[in-house]
Structure 1
Amino acid sequence: MTKNLDDIDLKILSEIQADGRITNVELAKRVGISPPPCLRRVRTLEDEGYIQGYRGLLDPGRLGFDVTVFASVHLSSQAEADLRGFEEFVRNEPLVRECWMLSGEVDFILKCVAPDMATFQHFVAHLTAAPHVRNVRTSLVLRNSKYDAAVPLELKGED
């Protein structure tokens, strides 16, 4: 962290995390300060990287992306250049929505969405042919029981 966050900073982050479209006036009211210092605090939190951006959360199914799959990828090489090369490969793949490097048996786990299984199967063939990919194991999502992109700021007060 680049600075110590006080209770007002944490309230600002919590409110913005719950509603990224909140106005500065409403945000200031909810956190108990006037709008000008609230805006300065928000700008500082943005500049320091606590707030990385603002975006709308879309429903993939309503937009025709009915297939969600997690792909576990094991590479044949863990050399830094090969890891970076794989990361660059997935950054250019629109079906890959998240890519996480892991420790242990699997090198990467990918969260992918696709409009149908045929599209996803075509992607898996492309993925398995990528440089240094040893094997790929996929798990089709049957149901999402919890999705919360928010950071649990309520635990921050328990330090």
Structure 2
Amino acid sequence: MGFDRIDRQILGHLQADGRMTNVDLADRVGLTAPPCLRRVRALEEEGVIRGYHADLDSARMGFPITVFAMVSLRSQAETDLAAFEAHVAAIPEVRECHMLNGEIDFILKIVASDLRGFQEILTTHLTTAPNVAGVKTSLTIRTAKSVSGVPVTLE
């Protein structure tokens, strides 16, 4: 999908600050408020802007442990893949689930309150899930970069 310069500016500014008022946004992109709002609404309706949210600090929210789990399935039939995706969607601590190509079928980003909590998620929800052949995990030591969204050129 092609975006003109103003659309890219709107997207970049909203990605950086989703709480920005329409008046401030319009001022930054050189429009008056009504046409700016029409453009934002069109971008929302097209699904380019999927929503607005607060970026919470997981450690301060009681989830200082972040683990990446690499999951291999016994079968990669579409129904089995969909069943696994539905299974992990119901686990609140699983924050991301990505299907991969290659040796590993899925990588999950999991948060936990402590190592015991992670072990419980692993043993009661992941390793025992239907069609799971194996799970390899890596505990995050520190996060050097965490940026949501995508790069947006504001030109």
Shorter-chain TM-score bucket reads: over 0.9
More relative contact order, 1 or 2 (CA 8 Å, 6+ apart): 2
Distance 1:42 1:96 in 2: 31
Q: Are residue 143 (structure 1) and residue 142 (structure 2) matched? A: yes
* 2:69 matched residue in structure 1: 71
Secondary structure of 1:139 counterpart = strand
Gaps of 5+ in 2: none
Question: What corresponds to 1:132 in structure 2?
Answer: 131
Unaligned runs of 5+ residues in structure 1 are: none
After superposing on structure 2, the runs of 4+ consecutive aligned residues of structure 1 that deviate more than 6 Å are none
Q: SS of the counterpart of 1:153?
A: coil
- In the aligned structure 1, how far is the partner of 2:61 from the partner of 2:88? 22
Deviation per CA, 1:14-70, whole angstroms, max 9, x where unpaired? 000000000000000000000000000000000001100000000000111010000
Aligned mate of 2:116, from 118, 133, 137: 118
Aligned to 1:41: 39
Q: Secondary structure at the match of 1:137?
A: strand
Secondary structure of the corresponding residue to residue 31 of structure 2 = coil
* Mapping for residues 14-93 of structure 1, pairs under 5 Å: 14-93=12-91
The percentage of aligned residue pairs carrying the same residue is 56
Structure 2 Cα separation of the partners of residues 61 and 68 of structure 1: 9
Report the equivalent of 1:98. 96
Q: Within 2, Cα distance between the matches of 1:65 and 1:123?
A: 13
Quick one: distance in 1 between partners of 2:91 and 2:60? 21
Normalized against structure 2, the TM-score is what? 0.97
> Residues 109-133 of structure 1: CA distance to partner in whole angstroms, max 9, x if unpaired?
0000000000100111121000000
Give the Å deviation of 1:150.
2.5
